[in-house]
Amino acid sequence: MRNILAETRITAGGINAVFGQASLDLTPMLNVGHGCYILPDSESRTGNPGTKGKARIMNWSFLNRFNIFCVLGSGLCLGVLVCLVMLAGCNKGGESVDCPDRVLPADGWDDLPIAAPGADDWPWWRGPALNNIARGEQSPPLVWGAGKNILWRVTPGGKGHGTPCIWGDRIFLAGGDKAKKSISVMCLDRETGKEKWRTGVYRGELPKIHKDNSYASGMVACDGERVFFAYQTSEAIRMVALGLDGKVVWDEEVAKYSTVQGHSASPAIYKSAVIMTADCKGAARLVALHRKTGKVIWRVARPGDEESYASPLAARVAGRDQLFIIGPDNTRSYDPGSGKLLWECDGPAKFDAATVGIGKDVIYSTGGYPEKALLAIRADGSGDVTASHLKWKSDRKAGYVPSPLAAAAFVYAVADKGLMRCYDAKSGKVVWERHLHAPVYSSPVLVGERIYLFDRKGKGYVMQGGGTFKMLAENTLDNGAFATPVIVGGRIYLRTLGDLYCISGEK
C-alpha cells in the first residue's frame, strides 16, 4: 500500500501536504503570528463571501475566549505540523517508507559463529576481504588459451552470470533454464570440475528479464555450513539456503519484486545474517534473514520508487560496520545490524548495478543510467553527506555494471564499453586510461601487482597495477565472460557464457 502522504513541503506561506495528485493547502488554517486557527477574511464556514469580518471563527469581543481559542488553535496547528513531519520522516532514508511489515532486530539475534573462510576460499561476492583483491602470495598464469594452461573445462548447464563461489574443495554455482522454467544450484569438485550434486530450487513461471541478464546472475554465498542463493520468481525475490550436501535447509521470500531488467544482486553475509535488497517500484525492501533458520532479523523499506540492481556489501569502513548500496538515485550506508540508515549521498545515477569499492575511510560508488559517474565518498558521516563528504566526482566516462577496485593510492574502474582507467584515490585525477575496444561487464581483480579483467567477447587482459600503464598479456577463450573471475591457490576460475574454466600453470 502506498503511503497516502507522498510529500510534505514547509514553506513561508504555510504547510502544503500533497496527497497523491491532490494538494491540500493548509495555509488558510495558520496564523504565523499567533498560531490561531483563523479563516481568511474572504472565506466563511458557509462559503458566503459577503460575511467579511464575521467569517472569523472566534469572538473577538471576549478576550478570555480569544486566549483560550489561541491556545487550542496553537495546539491543533502544532499537532497537524507534528503529524505531517512524522509522516514525511517515514519517507526519509528508507527506514520506514511505506513499511507496514517493518521488523526490528530482537536482542540476541547474532547467535552463530562468524563465517571463517580459508586463505584459498572465495566465499561471497567481492571475495573474503570484500574488495576484489586476491591473496598476493600466489602466481596465477600470465597467459592461457586453447591447449595452454587450461587445467580443466566443463559445461555446467543452465545459463548464469554469477561468479563462482569457492569453499574448501567445492565450487558452487547457480543456473537458470528458460525452456524448462527452472532454477538450480549446483556443486562441483574443485580439483576436477565434476558435478557433485544439483538441486532444483524453483520451477514455474519465470519473469521477463533483459537479454543480457540471466536467472542466475547473482553469486552464491557460503558460510561454511550453508550456501545461499537469491533468485527471482514471477512475483518475488526468494532466498534459499542449502546444506553442503545440497539439501534445502530453508527457502523464504525476501520481498515482492517486479522489474523490467530482472534481478541480479548477490547476498551479503554479516554476522548471523544474510542480507538481500529488492529494489523495485512500489515496495522496495532491504531484508536480513537468519543464516540458520531463514527467519527475518530485520526488514526496512528502501526509499524511492524506482528499480535498481546493485548488490549490498557489508564491510567495516571508517571505523564502523556499514552496509553499502548504490542506487536508486543515491549511495546509501546502513547499519547492517539493524537496517537503520546511517548516511546518504546524491548519485551516481538513477539506475545502478555495481557494488562499491572500499578503502579504509572512503568508498567508491559508480553508475549507471542515464547518468554516469564515479564518486569518492568519505564514509564517516551521518544524514545527507552530499555537501560535506563527497571528495570527488569523475566525468561521465564511468561504469554502470562493472564495480570499481580500490587498492592503496589508486582506484581502478572500467566502463561498460571498455574504457579502463586508473584514478588517483585522493584527488580523482585520471592517472592513466586504456580503451580495450570491447564491451565489459566483469569487474577487475587485483593479484599482487597485476590486474586481471575479462571482456564479453572472449579476451582476458593482464595489466600492471600502479601509476604507469602496461599491458602484460592478452589472451583469448572461445566465449566471453559476464562473470568476474575468482583467483585463488594460483588458479583462475572463470565462468564464461558457456563453460567454467580452471586456468592454471600446473602440469
Q: Mind listing the pLDDT tens digit for each residue in 310-331? A: 999 999 999 999 999 999 999 9
Model pLDDT, residue 385? 98
What mean pLDDT is predicted for residues 431-444? Answer: 97
Q: Please check whether residue 458 is in contact with residue 465, taking contact to mean a CB–CB distance below 8 angstroms.
A: no
Residue 107: pLDDT band with limits 50, 70, 90: very high
| Domain extent listing, the chain | 5-89, 133-503
Q: Mind listing the pLDDT tens digit for each residue in 113-164? A: 999 999 999 999 999 999 999 999 999 999 999 889 999 999 998 999 999 9
Model pLDDT, residue 377? 98
Residue 74 has which C-alpha cell? 496553537
Q: In what order do the strands lie in the sheet with 341-346?
A: 313-317, 320-326, 330-334, 341-346, 383-384
Pairing of strands 341-346, 383-384: parallel
Largest CA distance in the chain: 104
Residue 334 has which C-alpha cell? 546502513
d(CA 197, CA 345): 44
What HEC string does 196-261 produce?
EEEEEEEECCCCCCCCCCCCCCCCCEECCCEEEEEEECCCEEEEEEEECCCCEEEEEEEEECCCCC
d(CA 32, CA 77): 10
Q: Please check whether residue 387 is in contact with residue 395, taking contact to mean a CB–CB distance below 8 angstroms.
A: no
Residue 400 has which C-alpha cell? 554502470
Predicted model pTM:
0.81
Q: Please check whether residue 317 is in contact with residue 359, taking contact to mean a CB–CB distance below 8 angstroms.
A: yes
pLDDT value at 360 more than 60: yes
Strand ranges in 302-404 using DSSP code E only, listed in sequence order: 313-317, 320-326, 330-334, 341-346, 357-358, 362-367, 373-378, 383-384, 390-393
d(CA 326, CA 173): 25
CA-based angle 151:157:163, to the nearest 5?
A: 65
Q: Mind listing the pLDDT tens digit for each residue in 280-315? A: 887 899 999 999 999 999 999 998 678 889 999 999
Q: Mind listing the pLDDT tens digit for each residue in 326-359? A: 999 999 999 999 999 999 999 999 999 999 999 9
Residue 192 has which C-alpha cell? 576436477
d(CA 266, CA 285): 15
Instruction: Give the DSSP H/E element, type plus range, for residue 64.
Output: helix 63-89
d(CA 73, CA 71): 5
204 residue type, one letter: G
What mean pLDDT is predicted for residues 52-66? Answer: 38
d(CA 173, CA 394): 35
Instruction: Give the DSSP H/E element, type plus range, for residue 290.
Output: strand 285-290
Pairing of strands 471-476, 170-177: unpaired
What mean pLDDT is predicted for residues 35-42? Answer: 32
CA separation, residue 206 to residues 96, 100, 302, 396, 500 (Å): 30, 28, 24, 35, 24
Strand partners, 277: 286
Model pLDDT, residue 281? 84
Which one is the CATH code of 133-503: 2.130.10.10, 3.30.930.10, 3.40.50.720, 2.40.160.20?
2.130.10.10
Model pLDDT, residue 310? 96
CA separation, residue 386 to residues 34, 55, 380, 390 (Å): 37, 48, 12, 6
